[in-house]
Structure 1
Amino acid sequence: MSNIEWILLIITGFFLILLFRYIQLKKQIRNLADQVKELNCGNSEQMLDISLIDKDLERLAGILNQYNIRQRHAIASVLRNEEYLKESVANISHDLRTPLTVILGHLQLLQKENLESSQAQRIKTILGKAEKMKELVETFYDLSILEEQQTVPEKETFNISNLLINLITENAVALEKKNILPEINLPDYSIYVYSDRNMLERILQNLLTNAIKYSAGIIKITLLQKEDSGIIFTIENPIHDNFEIDCNRLFDRFYTGDKSRHDGSTGLGLAVVKGLVEILGGSIAAKIQSNRLSIILEL
């Protein structure tokens, strides 16, 4: 064999070795990329394989593993703090409810006393603020319970027609203050549902409160029985021209269509409604047509 043939053979062998190493390296890079993708998608919690043929590639995999460990520790810390915050909000909200109830009770008793005009006005102002505070506390408590994701509905069969009529009656004072005479459309027969009574009462109360607060006219309330024994509840009210409501965000936390926020709303009431409806396996949606807001609940 001549020298030229030996040189060509050596070059060919060297080329084949480089080609084999290149193919192996590309294969390991693709494998490493797939592992990183699985980690980012949350489909895997395993560390990256660092048994690689290239030392620089092994070093990169090692650095990525260290970064992954730090990220896990950071996420775990955030989750612990989040759980602590949720628990704190629930506990504080729960602890505030009792003293607020006592304060409201004594203020209501004071209103019945023979007070001077200025004193009666001050009691009225304090009572209004205390009632607002109680509403906020109850809303935050509801949200904290929903966040725990452990709320299990206690279902029973009950008359939702009577529940709705009772709620409207209980809100008669609030309706009267805004000169609202609700238009109520109920079937001639009672409608019964199998659901969690307390949750459904909270849902209907929040929807009614929201309508009373933002209505620019008559509130229309409709309750229908579906063929599958479910129900469709609709509450409709005209809205003020200065309200810019995004129906896609209406049930988001802290969203309010009133840009001025003069009403003191936190935008939490409808977020609680959505959370409770989802727990009960129902659906809720909103639409605006001819400057009238309609919220449709199906269970």
Structure 2
Amino acid sequence: MEILFWVLGATVLILVVKYGLLKRQVRSLACQVQDSLCRNSEKMLDISLIDKDVERLATLLNQHRARQRQAVVTAQRHEVSLKESVANLSHDLRTPLTVILGHIQLLCSSELSEEQRRRVDLILSRTEKMKDLVNTFYELSLLDTEQIIPRKEKVNLSNMVMNLLAENAPILERRGIFPEVCLPDCSVFLLSDCGMVERVLQNLFVNAVRYSSGNIKISVCQTKKDQGIFCIENPVRDISKLDIDRLFERFYTGDSSTHEEGTGLGLAVVKILVEKLGGEIMAKIHEERLSIKVFFNE
């Protein structure tokens, strides 16, 4: 009887020790996985374990992570290849489109009947839209592949806004839009890339004019930390159809009934450009007006 007691005691002790070691190994695996997730590390799990079943589990987890890593690498390669293909295709399409536009413009200057002129004008407008779309795709593909690096220089944001309004005066007049412009007494200067800032302002202006149901408001100011702020507001035709959280997504146009006017790429390009310039962009809706604000950092 005493021997049986000692055997049972020893068995229980062995089971307790084994259970404690097993818990320790499982806890170690859990800590490794958590640490890998927090640090986004690609380090494999330690499989120098005592329990064979736990060691097999760690091996299977490592194999799964290796396959995931390979899948990510493959997806990234495909994405880069797709972006390069889009860039090359867009670049190749620009030349023939330019030639087509040239010949159409020559047709416009020739003697045409009323019906012929109507058809040529329609072809011209569609071809110009196609060229704009191809140029936007080309620009977007370059931005995605990070081939554009900002060249910082002193930029007069106030003058840039005034030039933008002057250049687009015919569009404003045709649409019956009277912009309200608020500029500070002193010019607002930035240390930024002139071309990229111009592209940001132009895209925001075109978007506001295209989807506005009334007059737009443009304001410029500068913070004490020399941070330039550009803000453009416009009333929205149907506020219920606008998803503010998707505003900067590619191909999002807000209202599917107006997709003929825009491609949904302009604001996506703006967001990428602003981020490349080290700035921030935000949008909000207040009293049925859409407000987009850009913070240009030094």
Both proteins in one fold, TM over 0.5? yes
SS where residue 245 of structure 2 aligns?
coil
- Residue aligning to 1:69: 66
- Residue aligning to 2:30: 33
- Residue aligning to 2:121: 124
- Residue aligning to 1:151: 148
- Residue aligning to 2:209: 212
Give the CA RMSD over aligned residues.
2.3
SS where residue 244 of structure 2 aligns?
coil
TM-score, scaled relative to structure 2: 0.89
- 2:171 aligned partner, one-letter code: A
Asked if 1:201 corresponds to 2:195, the answer is: no
Does the Cα contact within 8 Å between 1:243 and 1:257 map onto a contact in 2?
Answer: no
Q: In structure 2, which of residues 76, 80, 84 is the aligned counterpart of residue 79 of structure 1?
A: 76
Q: What's the CA shift string for 1:61-95, capped at 9, x where partnerless?
A: 22222222222222211111011111111222222
Of all paired residues, the percent bearing the same amino acid is 55
Asked if 1:165 corresponds to 2:162, the answer is: yes
Q: What's the CA shift string for 1:167-205, capped at 9, x where partnerless?
A: 223323332332223233334554432210110011001
CA distance in 2, matches of 1:72, 1:228: 43
- 1:126 aligned partner, one-letter code: I
- Residue aligning to 2:178: 181
Q: How does 1:1-299 map to 2 (within 5 A)?
A: 4-41=1-38, 43-149=40-146, 151-187=148-184, 189-241=186-238, 244-299=241-296
Does the Cα contact within 8 Å between 2:253 and 2:259 map onto a contact in 1?
Answer: no
Does the Cα contact within 8 Å between 2:83 and 2:141 map onto a contact in 1?
Answer: yes
- 1:74 aligned partner, one-letter code: A
Q: Shift of the alpha carbon at 1:140?
A: 1.8
Q: Shift of the alpha carbon at 1:28?
A: 0.9
- 1:36 aligned partner, one-letter code: V
Q: Which runs of 5+ in 1 are unaligned?
A: none
Does the Cα contact within 8 Å between 1:243 and 1:259 map onto a contact in 2?
Answer: no
TM-score, scaled relative to structure 1: 0.88
- The aligned length equals 296
Cα 1:298–1:137 shift into 2, 3 Å: same
Q: Which runs of 5+ in 2 are unaligned?
A: none
- 1:72 aligned partner, one-letter code: R
